[in-house]
Amino acid sequence: MVTFPVIRPRRLRKNKLIRDLVAETELSEKDLILPIFIKESINEPEPISSMPGINRYPLNDKLINYVETSYENGIRSVILFGIPSYKDDIASSAYDKNGVIQRAVRMIKDSFGDKIIVITDECTDEYTSHGHCGLVRYKDSTYIIDNDESLKIHAKIALSQAEAGADIIAPSSMMDGVVGEIRKALDEAGFYETLIMSYSVKYASALYGPFREAAYSKPAFGDRRGYQMDPRNAFEALKEAKLDIEEGADILMVKPAHTYLDVIRLVKTNFPEYPLAAYHVSGEYSMIKAAAINGWIDERTVVLEITTAIKRAGADFIITYYANEIARWIKEGVPF
């Protein structure tokens, strides 16, 4: 006697053990990269008002303690953003041997060695008075971001970060040819083991707002729509990813993450042999945080659900300001 229906998907959801057995996606603390803001001119951690729970860290033991705590939580990778004590038109504090990032990398490497992967964001926006991701050339009453001149500066910054000991350089400028130029500079100097994780598919997103407050990197004029991708485009992501692969990128990235799950899936499906990072950006963090502070959502379950969704879409790992909390929550057991 056959009872209808024969196929019952609910059998696979019967209890937690069965659900865990058949789960397609598993989030691990090894998948998480923690962003850290480091500010040259402070001695104590400084809260960032647009990102509750996140601080800027000074170049001292407070930074080391934070990395240590994160390490104990299971975090094995950090990506560093510098807030320098001086800015100019050519981002010279970004390639200064004793610049904020160079010192931060050396400090972390001196304390942790190969226990922690140190990634450096490679860009000019935090280091220039104009706040753009390349060099600005003024022409008549207007200005342009000079792509090819910018490449030389980006290569210089990348090289100085590698010299300081960074394991992975993450160019985030969206300048055409930047990955190739950096690869060439690193190889010529013997840094052929230094990886490049390219912000291959980076959209011109309003979701970077809190970050720009955190890093004082809002453009002084204009916007980034002339170099970052148009949110209306998905397939163009394949062109950007392909170029970065040809230029020597080891790891690709899609950014933002939660809002661009379709793009993550598209890039992973087309280039499955390349590790793919996704950046759950500041605005995505702050929106959840604001709702959580108001008691409107269950922060832990929402964050785990969104982060799992980013992985399910095709990301191999996730850059997230929630890295420490997620690592702790995973240990408590995921609520699915």
Q: Which is nearer to ligand PBG, 95 or 211 (CB)?
A: 211
Q: Which two tokens stand for residue 316?
A: 């191999």
Catalytic residue among 39, 255, 268, 311: 255
Residue 91 CB, shortest distance to ligand PBG, in Å, is 11
H-type alpha helices, the chain: 16-22, 61-73, 100-112, 147-164, 178-188, 209-215, 236-247, 261-270, 282-293, 299-313, 323-332
Nearest to 98, CA basis, from 109, 112, 85: 85
Residue 54 CB, shortest distance to ligand PBG, in Å, is 10
Q: Which is nearer to ligand PBG, 34 or 67 (CB)?
A: 34
121 sits near ligand PBG (criterion: CB under 6 A): yes
C-alpha 114 chain-centroid distance: 20
Nearest to 160, CA basis, from 138, 139, 127, 182: 182
Q: Is 255 a catalytic residue?
A: yes
Strands 55-57, 46-47: pairing is: antiparallel
Residue 322 CB, shortest distance to ligand PBG, in Å, is 12
Q: Is 202 a catalytic residue?
A: yes
The terminus-to-terminus CA distance of the chain in angstroms comes to 35
Cα-based distances in Å from 145 to 78, 128, 148, 278 = 29, 13, 9, 26
Q: Helix (H, G, I), strand (E, B), or coil: what is residue 207?
A: helix
- Give the number of residues in contact with ligand PBG, rule: CB under 6 A: 11
- The site map against ligand PBG for 194-213 (x = CB under 6 A) is --------------x--xx-
28 is in an annotated binding site: no
- The site map against ligand PBG for 256-285 (x = CB under 6 A) is -------------------------xx---
CA angle 250, 254, 255 (to 5 degrees): 130
312 is in an annotated binding site: no
Q: Which residue is nearest to ligand PBG (CB)?
A: 211
- The site map against ligand PBG for 165-184 (x = CB under 6 A) is -------x------------
- The contact set with ligand PBG (CB under 6 A) reads 121, 123, 125-126, 172, 208, 211-212, 217, 281-282
Q: Which residues are annotated as a binding site for 5-aminolevulinate?
A: 212, 224, 282, 321
Q: Which residues are annotated as a binding site for Mg(2+)?
A: 240
Which residues are marked as active site?
Answer: 202, 255
